């Protein structure tokens, strides 16, 4: 097919969408060619709060969608194809994409930009570990605060909780007491009030007791409220650690090898528990070697090989990734999943 327009835009990331909106609003017949989906890199942004005019954080997807709709309202047309060539024919540009020809008076190339690698020794090794290309994207920020130099208690106070690969449970305390410890950052630590058994402290203590018991139920340990931790099974202690971390009311929960050392039944139980935690609104990040669990559970997976990032994506993308297959999954993996 042959198309004709006044303005042709290649790429529908934020730049292409903005150009489309202004071009169409200026009454130019505008066509946008995009090979993926309108939004470009912004589709990867979970919470975007630093675009001009954006007061309340929006997802990159929502922002891109409203930019696309706005451009369409002004008359811009969107074509899904990959641009293969741009040539000049007389006074017009001819763009070839998806087997079609687009003749245009003006072309805007908005195919995005990538950071420039310096190519110096150490750059790859330290990228993401001190060397960064985008201070905001790669920065150690959480809720707008730098967290790389904060003491662990401050990091926890911001809403980051964790469990440990080698259990860090107080074995001489009961299960319930262990969970209550997780809430200590939220407690009133006034020594005088404690010494005189202040009524408000007693009430807070009771409420905490109930809250901890509720969390024990949530992780499936309601039968072990008063059990001493050193009498509990390894699998139960793993769940106890999750309950203790949840007592902090975290926004982000890091699980360090939650399935390590568990039998298949216990692994399934932990798998279900992690789904429940995520469904309750807590973001879960887990480090795990149990590939079956990782693949079935994760929205996004980041694969490391000797400390270096090998791949990042959904389970389906990771299964097809040649580098991951070579390093971990074995030659049959891609076929198995298709
Ligand atoms: C994870 C992440 C988080 C980010 N967070 C923020 C943030 O919080 N705030 C912020 O301001 N910025 C953020 N950015 C950066 C921001 O997303 C980019 O600056 C912005 O998307 C650049 O817009 P663009 O239109 O120039 O390019 P892109 O978004 O890269 O869009 C280019 C488009 O061109 C298309 N394209 C390329 N080649 C062709 C072709 N041959 N044919 C057809 N189409 C083609 C691509 O498919 C793509 O959709 C983030 C980026 C990432 C990856």
Residue 333 has pLDDT above 60, yes or no: no
Cβ–ligand 1 contact at 47 (below 6 Å): no
Judge whether 163 and 255 are in contact, CB under 8 Å: yes
Contact 45, 136 (CB under 8 A): no
**Alpha carbon of 145 to ligand 1 centroid (Å):** 25
Question: Is the beta carbon of 34 within 6 A of some atom in ligand 1?
Answer: yes
| C-alpha 87: how far from chain center | 41
Which tokens hold the place of 15? 């730049």
- Of ligand 1's atoms, which has the minimum distance to the CA of residue 97? 42
CB 159 within 8 A of CB 246: no
The answer to whether 176 touches 213, Cβ cutoff 8 Å, is yes
Is residue 335 predicted with pLDDT exceeding 60? no
From the centroid of its chain, how far is CA 211?
28
**Secondary structure (3-state) at 81:** coil
Q: How far is the CA of 34 from the centre of ligand 1 (A)?
A: 12
DSSP per-residue codes, 178-203: HHHHTTGGGS---HHHHHTT-HHHHH
**What pLDDT does 194 receive?**
65
Q: Answer yes or no: is the C-beta of 82 below 6 A from any ligand 1 atom.
A: yes
CB of 80 closer than 6 angstroms to any ligand 1 atom: no
- Token couple for 289: 């070697």
Q: Which of 243, 258, 238 is nearest to 211 (CA)?
A: 243
CA distance 66 to 241: 43
| CB count in 10 Å sphere of residue 46 | 9
Euclidean distance between CA atoms 24 and 20, whole angstroms: 6
Assigned token pair, 212 = 């901890």
How do residues 22-66 score in pLDDT, each as one tens digit? Answer: 999 999 999 999 999 999 999 988 778 888 888 988 999 999 999
Alpha-carbon distance of 224 to 267, in angstroms, equals 19
> What is d(CA 325, CA 319) in angstroms, rounded to the nearest whole number?
7
Element (H, E) at 7: strand 2-10
Backbone dihedral region for residue 192 (phi beyond 0: left; psi -120 to 50: alpha; all else: beta):
alpha
Give the predicted TM-score (pTM) of the model. 0.61
Q: In this structure, what are the phi and psi dihedrals at residue 319, rounded to the nearest 5 degrees?
A: -60, -30
Q: How far is the CA of 64 from the centre of ligand 1 (A)?
A: 10
Q: What is the pLDDT of residue 243?
A: 97
pLDDT digits (tens, 9 = 90+) for 189-230: 666 666 666 677 777 788 889 999 999 999 999 999 999 999
70 vs 153, higher pLDDT = 70
Residues written for the chain = 338
Per-residue pLDDT, averaged over 97-106, amounts to: 97
> Residue 81: which pLDDT band, with cuts at 50, 70 and 90?
very high
């Amino acid at each position: 097919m042959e198309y004709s327009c006044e303005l042709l835009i290649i790429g529908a990331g934020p730049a292409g969408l903005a150009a489309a909106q202004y071009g169409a609003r200026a009454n130019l017949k505008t066509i946008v060619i995009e090979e993926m989906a309108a939004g470009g890199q912004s589709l990867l942004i979970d919470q975007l709060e630093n675009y001009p005019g954006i007061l309340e954080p929006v997802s990159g997807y929502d922002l891109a969608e409203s930019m696309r709709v706005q451009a369409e309202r002004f008359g811009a047309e969107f074509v899904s194809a990959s641009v293969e060539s741009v040539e000049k024919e007389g006074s017009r540009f001819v763009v070839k994409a998806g087997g079609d020809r687009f003749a245009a008076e003006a072309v805007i190339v908005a195919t995005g930009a990538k950071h420039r690698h310096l190519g110096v020794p150490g750059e790859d090794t330290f990228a993401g570990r001190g060397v960064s290309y985008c201070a905001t994207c790669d920065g150690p920020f959480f809720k707008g605060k730098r967290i790389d130099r904060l003491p662990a208690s401050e990091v926890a106070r911001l809403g980051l909780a964790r469990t440990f690969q080698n259990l860090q449970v107080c074995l001489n305390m009961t299960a319930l007491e262990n969970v209550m410890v997780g809430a200590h950052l939220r407690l009133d630590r006034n020594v005088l009030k404690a010494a005189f058994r202040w009524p408000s402290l007693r009430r807070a203590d009771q409420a905490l007791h109930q809250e901890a018991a509720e969390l024990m139920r949530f992780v499936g340990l309601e039968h072990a409220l008063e059990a001493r931790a050193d009498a509990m099974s390894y699998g139960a202690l793993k769940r106890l650690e999750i309950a203790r971390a949840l007592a902090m009311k975290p926004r982000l929960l890091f699980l360090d090898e939650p399935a390590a050392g568990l039998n298949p039944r216990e692994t399934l139980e932990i798998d279900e528990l992690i789904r429940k935690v995520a469904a309750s609104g807590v973001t879960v990040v887990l480090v795990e070697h149990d590939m079956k669990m990782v693949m079935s559970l994760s929205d996004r997976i980041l694969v490391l090989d000797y400390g270096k990032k090998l791949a990042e994506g959904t389970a389906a993308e990771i299964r097809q990734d040649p580098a991951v297959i070579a390093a971990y999954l074995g030659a049959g993996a891609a076929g198995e999943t298709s």
